[in-house]
Amino acid sequence: MTGAAAGIRFDQVTVAYGEQVVLDRLDLSVEPGEVMALLGPSGSGKTTALRAVAGFVRPASGRVHLGGRDVTGLPPHRRGIGMVVQQYALFPHLRVEENVAFGLRARKVPKAETRERVTEALTQVGMEAYARRHPRELSGGQQQRVAIARALAIRPSVLLLDEPLSALDAQLRSGMLAELARLHRELPEVSILYVTHDQVEALTLADRIAVMDRARLQDCGTPEELYRRPRTEFTASFVGNANLLPVRVGVREGTVDLAGHTLSVATGGAARGSAATLCLRPHLVGLGEGPNALRGTLADLQWRGSIHRLRVDVDGRAVLADLRELRDPPALGSPVTLHFAAEDAVLLAAAAPVAVAAPGGAGV
């Protein structure tokens, strides 16, 4: 990864409000044409990171680069950024076409070109037929499309999206998600930073996900990497469901001990005898005898339409298993055996966050 050519690069960016550090030495690069989701719980610093790129907050230290250029001291309107926020923020007294033209007028783009670019942007979001309407004559989803068109009209090299779907109802949201994925394909040079607390949005749309917690970047990788090989307990539980089971690394190579059960899993460089956490995705746990058998009693059984979720008490530890085919469910309180394949388990350092490796040096 060549940091200098990245669309967006955070270089040790720290933001504080008074005494409170809300973004702590963020290092992250977003390549041209890449969608990076900033995923994390409320208050973890996602919007602050986005606003630092837009120029609405000034870092206490660190630099922000766009297209290889240090923009830390530049005002927002000179950064060439398109931004879409949760609440559309359209001007109510302006027609759709005037809203979309707004950024172009401010940049003194000639009239004929403005008309052309407004039509182009409205076409990109499928709203060209609504150019003469006022925002109040549009649904929430349509208003958000106009807000996206307005951001695209300036032909930004960076598009910032802050929870753009959270004001929409569930059905609209999934439609818009597909639309955003299409737009992303049509804008191969644009870097997109997408703030969300919704893992489905992040998993669906992002090329990579940066997981934030308590002002810090916790993990960063492709959706598949984070799902299959999380590096921290936080990522494991925030990106998908996870059984996080306290274990002790066995004396014998490639084994761990879970409440007296010896299990085979890759232990990597973990010190023998040390405490660790075993991450097991519930849908990768099977029912019945097999390798890595866990014997316990059935504590709970829920039918969730496409799956049965079993909660099995294994010597005081709850293990969840999501099963697709369960014709003859065991009775509550009866003995059950679960199993899992060694390659489906991930061993994590216990509780303490594992340092995030930074492939390629600059950013992760």
Where on the chain is the footprint of ligand ADP (CB under 6 A)? 17, 22, 40, 42-48
* 13 beta partners: 26
Residue 238, amino acid? F
Q: How far is the CB of 259 from ligand ADP (least distance, A)?
A: 37
Closer by beta carbon to ligand ADP, 32 or else 353: 353
Q: How far is the CB of 162 from ligand ADP (least distance, A)?
A: 8
Q: How far is the CB of 220 from ligand ADP (least distance, A)?
A: 16
Angle (CA) 218 39 221, round 5°: 60
Closer by beta carbon to ligand ADP, 42 or else 306: 42
Greatest CA separation found in the chain? 76
Burial of 110 (0-12, 13-18, 19+ CB in 10 A): exposed
Find the helix packing angle between 96-106 and 111-124, rounded to 10°: 130
Structure token pair of residue 314: 């294994």
Closer by beta carbon to ligand ADP, 153 or else 192: 192
Residue 287, amino acid? L
Q: How far is the CB of 347 from ligand ADP (least distance, A)?
A: 29
Q: How far is the CB of 294 from ligand ADP (least distance, A)?
A: 37
Q: How far is the CB of 257 from ligand ADP (least distance, A)?
A: 38
Residue 350, amino acid? A
- Report the chain's C-alpha Rg in angstroms: 24
Tell me how far apart the alpha carbons of residues 151 and 107 are, in angstroms, rounded to a whole number. 13
Closer by beta carbon to ligand ADP, 42 or else 334: 42
Closer by beta carbon to ligand ADP, 51 or else 281: 51
Closer by beta carbon to ligand ADP, 12 or else 274: 12
Are 313 and 296 a contacting pair, CB within 8 Å?
yes
Coil/strand/helix, residue 343: helix
